[in-house]
Amino acid sequence: MTMAGLLSALPDMEPRRYLYDLVPVYPRRGGKGLRCGLTIATCGAFGGTPRLALNSAIAIELFHNAFLVHDDVEDGSLTRRGLPTLAAEHGLAVAVNVGDAMNVLSIEPLMRNLELLGPEVTWDVMAEIQHMVRQSTEGQATELGWVRDNVLDLEDADYLRMTLKKTCWYTCIHPCRIGAVIASRGAIDPDRFNRFGYFMGAAFQIQDDVLNLVADERRYGKEIGGDIQEGKRTMMLIHLYRHASPRERDRLRRFLATARERRTDRDVRWVRALMDRYGSLDHARQSARSLAAAALDEFHAAYADAPPSRDRRFIEQIVHYMIERDL
């Protein structure tokens, strides 16, 4: 429903070839719909109708897709959801600008909230989105900086702080907050969702990174091992660097200091094998499971006063799915 709403909300006008034909490219490729699902279901769990949350869910989903467009430019990624990235297909310049357009277009549904939700709730949602986007750019800045400067002396706590900013706010925390703010017309303090969304988002991100290393490429839609090739600071890479021998550390550091296009498949396979040897994937999987279990506890706290409903069960199932998906 949200995806149809999203696509129908997009402009069908000139300039098509270099802009509005490209804006729906990533949304049309599908995706899990996790963010819009959480927004609408949380609204429902607290007594709101889906229609009340639809504009906001569309905005979050469109922002997410804009973020992916720029993320693919920044990471130099070649595929997304099983097809070439916008940058790979249409060039870096056009892709950066399409991402900018998607960001500004994501504000339009929020402006349509005015009639539906009245000025106060509309404004509250706008402030939520503002915070959400800022947190994402802050997390992204940290991750990109680590790669650029080959920062390797990192702890799980650094990783989790970065992930809170880059992923958790926009993937979990704000969708829940916004759904509840809309349903309760501002009566529910949205801070109650922060811990739940943090644990859930971190579990989600770690699993996503694990899947990048182990999943079937056609199902996953990105290059398998692409994260190693990119030098992405995953929990696995951080674990590996912490546990590797001095010689291995040296080689790892040199591999990551090499210009990306000159990193060989052989080296990528070496890093991947080393992760197995030191149990880096098991460490990450175990962390994801613990976080998902903590998310389940927090779910019961945050949704304690939401009566049993399909929406409430849906959210609980998402947490279970987090623990189980493909691990």
Shortest Å distance, C-beta 73 to a second copy: 6
Burial 115-151 (b: 16+ CB within 10 A, else e): eebeeebbebbbebbeebbebbeebbebbbebbeeee
Does 1 participate in binding a second copy (rule CB under 8 A)? no
Name, in order, each residue with C-beta under 8 angstroms of 214's C-beta and a sequence gap of 6 or more.
224, 281, 326
CA 182 to chain centre: 22
Write down the residue that tokens 């909300």 correspond to. Answer: 9
By beta-carbon proximity to a second copy, the closer residue of 111 and 273 is 111
Contact segment (CB under 8 A) with a second copy among 108-116, 203-211, 278-286, 307-315 equals 108-116
Does 64 participate in binding a second copy (rule CB under 8 A)? no
Does 301 participate in binding a second copy (rule CB under 8 A)? no
How far apart (Å, rounded) are the C-alpha atoms in residues 235 and 25? 31
The answer to whether residues 188 and 180 touch, using CB atoms and an 8 Å cutoff, is yes
By beta-carbon proximity to a second copy, the closer residue of 74 and 223 is 74
By beta-carbon proximity to a second copy, the closer residue of 144 and 214 is 144
Binding-residue total with a second copy (CB under 8 A): 43
How far apart (Å, rounded) are the C-alpha atoms in residues 225 and 211? 9
By beta-carbon proximity to a second copy, the closer residue of 114 and 214 is 114
Does 134 participate in binding a second copy (rule CB under 8 A)? yes
Among 78, 83, 88, 114, binds a second copy (CB under 8 A): 114
Does 101 participate in binding a second copy (rule CB under 8 A)? yes
Does 107 participate in binding a second copy (rule CB under 8 A)? yes
Contact flags string 156-175 toward a second copy, x per CB under 8 A: --------------------
Q: Provide the residue type at 147 as one letter.
A: V
For residue 80, give the nearest of 10, 29, 19, 144 by alpha carbon.
Answer: 29
How far apart (Å, rounded) are the C-alpha atoms in residues 50 and 69? 28
Shortest Å distance, C-beta 325 to a second copy: 29
Among 55, 140, 167, 194, binds a second copy (CB under 8 A): 140
Shortest Å distance, C-beta 168 to a second copy: 16
How far apart (Å, rounded) are the C-alpha atoms in residues 201 and 172? 6
Does 18 participate in binding a second copy (rule CB under 8 A)? yes
How far apart (Å, rounded) are the C-alpha atoms in residues 2 and 5? 5
Does 138 participate in binding a second copy (rule CB under 8 A)? yes
By beta-carbon proximity to a second copy, the closer residue of 23 and 318 is 23
For residue 100, give the nearest of 42, 28, 163, 23 by alpha carbon.
Answer: 23
The answer to whether residues 167 and 133 touch, using CB atoms and an 8 Å cutoff, is no
By beta-carbon proximity to a second copy, the closer residue of 14 and 216 is 14
Residues making contact with a second copy (CB under 8 A)? 14-15, 17-19, 70, 73-75, 90-94, 96-101, 103-105, 107-108, 111, 114, 119, 123, 126-127, 130, 133-134, 137-138, 140-142, 144-145, 147-148
